[in-house]
Amino acid sequence: MRLAAIGQQHLESGSQRGKRPLVLALLVIALIITIIASINFRPPLPMSLAAIQKGGKITLITRNNAHCYYTYRNQAMGFEYDLAKAFATDLGLDLEVKVIEQWEEMVAALLNQKGNFIAANLAIEPHRQKEIAFSNGYLDVQPVMVTHRINRTIQMPFDLEGKTVHVRTGSSYLKHLLDLKQNGVALKLSLYDDIATEELIRQVAGRKVEVTIAYSNIALLNRRYYPQTMLAGPLDFPKKMGWAVDPRATRLLERINQFLAEIKKNGQFTEIYKRYYTGVEEFDYVNMKRFHRRIKTRLPNFLNHINKAATKYKFDWRLIAAQMYQESHFRPKAKSRRGAYGLMQLTKNTAKSLGVTNLFEPAANIFAGVRYLRRLYNIYDQATPTDRLFFALAAYNVGQGHILDARRLAEKKGLDPDRWASLEKTLPLLRYPKYYRKSIYGYCRGTEPIRYIKQIMGYYDILKRQAIDYGSDQPG
């Protein structure tokens, strides 16, 4: 029995010795496979700036929303898009747009070379810098709490104690809230996998949710669309927005920083910013509520005439409606102290030159006003379309002569007379004897046309907002 047991033990020991080389071999094979896999799945090297330029295009990764990129009347636009378009133009390249909504998917697309840079309303945050490299900051923002106007219980972060805050998962807003919870504020979180920040703000306006978080630029812009909302107070310290690149794309990052510095210096950044955010800091709740009400109650009475006139003279009807509201608040019998009449506030001389005899007849007044605006627009054909429009609106407001004086003054001061940014500097000077005594057309309330245009563009933005074709908004 003992010999049999020894023999059996010897056989088992030999069997184990025979298995060891096999196990070792399998481990080596597994290690090799792991190494190969890691090599195969390592993100490809980013294209060099020279290679991008040679290819003739640069690809933007962004989001489809009112702040980044959207289409209106078959035209691409958006604050981030316009900045990126200017960058591509500066490089002499075409701009290709790749829309991706989720943060994780944007980073993956960037690192896998599906795009060259991200411009998507992103705050420069330490946790994000672990994955990607950011440009220098180009816009200051701050995460703020957004509530309904009647809610006065939330003003500081610790006022969120016991409140339910609605935010999107994966957003930097969520990280700020989690930090707040760790610091002892017993707030509750209602998380959404895929929802627009703007949609949450809309729900706050409708009192379906009590509070959400948004960056200040988003909150200010949406307050225009939803005047029932208010910025209750800051959640955290101010942040800077930045563009993102693959950490290995150092030359591209240098070129982006150079571009951002240049447009900050030459005023191009300010011009682009004003296209989307002009006047958002100035907010008149009563006026905004009145406008939202009257585009439902009064505007429909004139829509047919507005559409026909805008189509005939090649303007967006929403622009004409915005100007009409600024002029008359959609009142066909409106009269001003300066002798202007009707929906488009025509003077008797202007009406006579346009063949209008009944200033209070809506169709005649609208067609004459739009025709006159087109006449003014055609004068400034050396300017860009946006500048031409602003020149025309300003001339409609204070007269073509004062615009001519302001343009001449701009030339004397070394400014480009075909840029509205120049006239924003020179028109206000025509209030002072030092300047208007040397002008042809004399004194001008030069700040008035600037405010006039800001008001119109604010109303226009609200009307456009109702027609914008975009999907999920997930800034932050």
Closest CA to 470 of 172, 144, 151, 76: 76
Exposure letters 117-136 (e unless 16+ CB within 10 A, then b): bbbbbbbbbeebeeebbbbe
Cα dihedral 234, 235, 237, 242 sign: negative
Beta bridge partners of 42: none
CA-to-CA dists, residue 160 to 175, 195, 200, 233, angstroms: 15, 21, 17, 11
- Do 405 and 439 contact (CB within 8 A), yes or no? yes
Cα angle for residues 436, 442, 448 (degrees, 5° grid): 85
8 A C-beta contact, residue 439 and residue 413: no
Which tokens belong to 423? 């006239």
Tokens of 114: 């599906």
Alpha helix (H) ranges present in 278-399?
285-297, 303-312, 317-328, 348-353, 362-379, 385-398
Catalytic residues: 327
Output the furthest CA–CA distance in the chain (Å, rounded): 129
Distances (CA, A) of 473 to 62, 121, 265, 432, 469: 11, 10, 30, 46, 12
CA distance 218 to 201: 10
Amino acid at 187: L
Both tokens of 150, joined, read 């009647």
Sort residue 133 into left (φ over 0), alpha (ψ -120 to 50) or beta. Answer: beta
Alpha-carbon gap, residue 292 to 11, rounded angstroms:
92
> What token pair was written down for 83?
């900045």
Measure the N-to-C terminal CA separation of the chain; round to a whole number of Å.
78
Alpha-carbon gap, residue 377 to 386, rounded angstroms:
10
Report the alpha-carbon distance of residue 314 to residue 110 in Å, rounded: 40
Among candidates 320, 271, 311, which has minimal Cα distance to 425?
271
Plot region of 55 (φ>0 → left; ψ -120 to 50 → alpha; else → beta):
alpha
